[in-house]
């Protein structure tokens, strides 16, 4: 099996040191040294696949050129890192991995006089970015000085070790959701609410759970909007909450890929009460030969408006289809009907109303 070793050394200790390697800055691009065999290479290169989870521009590339059936200790080390203490907030590090095979990825942490031993997670799809996560809860309080990554732990000796692995966002940071939300607004449009928000940057963003409340105390999920994973450019999002009324409160629950989350600020939106179901009296009435019939419906629905004689026979069908919420007007021409009393009826699936009209010729 092959070993990718990242040795991290420095001279001082910081309990909440910023220990994330994204290979986008000069300090993280330099200082890496390959050791045995010398044919192996480590470099910072353009991201091989920006269509998936990882959309950062540059990543670390480790190429093994050793061939089949041997197990030398291969890797790189870096001396440009400050040691840090494992805490309850940073004890579950993550790594983005892109490999030419599926296998267990071994991750070890160690310090003076101690080491964690082999700890595993696996990438399950080849040639695709995936996040692997490790749990070092048992080592809270320990100071880390060395980190080891073994990319193909557990392969048989017959594996061809002339392989390439990419790594990015090696992350030991307090467990917070690294998404910078720069705006969140809501507006009432008719009987719906339009929510809009944007982010300046995103790291490992699964998405946004949209929550609504009528009292600003008890919130419930009304939808989910997919995030963009890891990006460094502005992204805009929107969500429409249909058929609502009154004073409403909205917030976003931003969820990380590892399940971590945080809430946005709350925005209040006042929605004017929607129109009620109503059938108005025709005008003019009596009429000859035309009259106007108007009605309103509170939401989009399938509507029928029909005219009947006094015996209950249908004599005209004025509406028979899906109609938008709001007020509607129909011009009814009865030139083909005899003088007399008629009834017009509206149905919208849940409601029925009937009124009388009089045709005088």
- Residue 228 tokens read as 């963009």
**pLDDT band at 27, cuts 50/70/90?**
low
Residue 266 CB contacts under 8 Å (≥ 6 apart), including other chains: 213, 216, 249, 250, 251
The chain-wide mean pLDDT, for the chain, equals 80
Query: Is a pLDDT exceeding 80 seen at residue 288?
Result: yes
**pLDDT band at 315, cuts 50/70/90?**
very high
3 state SS of 1: coil
Query: Is a pLDDT exceeding 70 seen at residue 152?
Result: no
What single DSSP character describes residue 191? T
What is this structure's pTM? 0.45
Q: Strand 103-111 to strand 114-115: parallel, antiparallel, or no bridges (unpaired)?
A: antiparallel
Name the strand (E) or helix (H) holding 283: none
Query: Is a pLDDT exceeding 70 seen at residue 323?
Result: yes
Task: With beta carbons less than 8 A apart as the criterion, state whether 139 and 147 touch.
Answer: no
**Which range, of 6-10, 313-317, 328-332, averages the lowest pLDDT?**
6-10
Question: What is the rounded CA–CA span in Å between residue 181 and residue 199?
Answer: 4
More confident residue, 17 or 120: 120
Amino acid 16: pLDDT: 35
Amino acid 88: pLDDT: 77
Task: With beta carbons less than 8 A apart as the criterion, state whether 150 and 130 touch.
Answer: no
Query: Is a pLDDT exceeding 80 seen at residue 223?
Result: yes
Query: Is a pLDDT exceeding 50 seen at residue 72?
Result: no
Amino acid 195: pLDDT: 96
* Averaged pLDDT for residues 198-225: 91
**pLDDT band at 12, cuts 50/70/90?**
very low
**pLDDT band at 173, cuts 50/70/90?**
low
Which residue ranges form the domains of the chain, and what is each CATH number?
A: 4-172 (2.60.120.260), 179-271 (2.60.40.10), 278-359 (2.60.40.3080)
Taking phi over 0 as left and psi of -120 to 50 as alpha, with beta for the rest, 228 belongs to: alpha
For the stretch 96-129, pLDDT in tens is 889 887 777 878 888 889 888 878 787 788 888 8
- Residue 147 tokens read as 């980190």
Task: With beta carbons less than 8 A apart as the criterion, state whether 131 and 121 touch.
Answer: no
Amino acid 105: pLDDT: 80
Query: Is a pLDDT exceeding 60 seen at residue 55?
Result: yes
Which residues on adjacent β-strands are paired with residue 239? 195
**pLDDT band at 160, cuts 50/70/90?**
very low
For the stretch 206-218, pLDDT in tens is 999 999 999 988 8
């Amino acid at each position: 099996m092959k070993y990718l070793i990242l040795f991290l050394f420095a001279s001082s200790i910081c309990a909440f040191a910023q220990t994330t390697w994204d290979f986008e800055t000069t300090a993280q691009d330099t200082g890496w040294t390959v050791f045995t065999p010398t044919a192996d290479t480590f470099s910072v290169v353009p991201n091989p696949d920006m269509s998936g989870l990882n959309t950062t521009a540059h990543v670390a590339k480790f190429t093994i050129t050793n061939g089949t059936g041997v197990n030398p200790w291969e890797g790189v080390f870096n001396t440009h890192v400050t040691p840090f203490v494992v805490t309850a907030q940073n004890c579950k590090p993550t790594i983005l991995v892109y490999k030419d095979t599926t296998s267990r990825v071994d991750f070890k942490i160690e310090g003076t006089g101690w080491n964690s031993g082999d700890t595993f997670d696996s990438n399950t799809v080849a040639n695709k970015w995936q996040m692997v996560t490790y749990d070092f809860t048992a080592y809270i309080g320990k100071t880390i000085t060395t980190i080891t990554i073994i990319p193909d732990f557990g392969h048989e000796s017959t594996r061809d070790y002339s392989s390439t692995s990419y790594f990015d966002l090696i992350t030991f940071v307090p467990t917070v959701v690294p998404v910078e939300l720069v705006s969140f607004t809501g507006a009432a449009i008719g009987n719906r609410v339009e929510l809009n928000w944007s982010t300046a940057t995103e790291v490992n963003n699964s998405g946004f759970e949209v929550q609504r409340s009528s009292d600003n105390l008890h919130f419930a999920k009304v939808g989910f909007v997919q995030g963009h994973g890891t990006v460094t450019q502005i992204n805009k999002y929107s969500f429409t909450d249909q058929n609502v009324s009154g004073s409403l409160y909205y917030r976003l629950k931003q969820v990380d890929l590892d399940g971590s989350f945080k809430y946005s600020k709350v925005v209040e939106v006042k929605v004017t009460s929607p129109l009620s179901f109503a059938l108005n009296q025709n005008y003019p009435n009596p009429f000859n030969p035309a009259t106007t019939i108007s009605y309103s419906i509170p939401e989009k629905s399938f509507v029928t408006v029909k005219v009947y004689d006094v015996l209950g026979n249908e004599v005209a069908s004025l509406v028979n289809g899906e109609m938008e919420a709001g007020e509607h007007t129909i011009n009814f021409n009865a030139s083909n009907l005899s003088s007399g009393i008629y009834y017009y009826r509206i149905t919208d699936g849940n409601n029925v109303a009937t009124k009388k009209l009089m045709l005088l010729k």
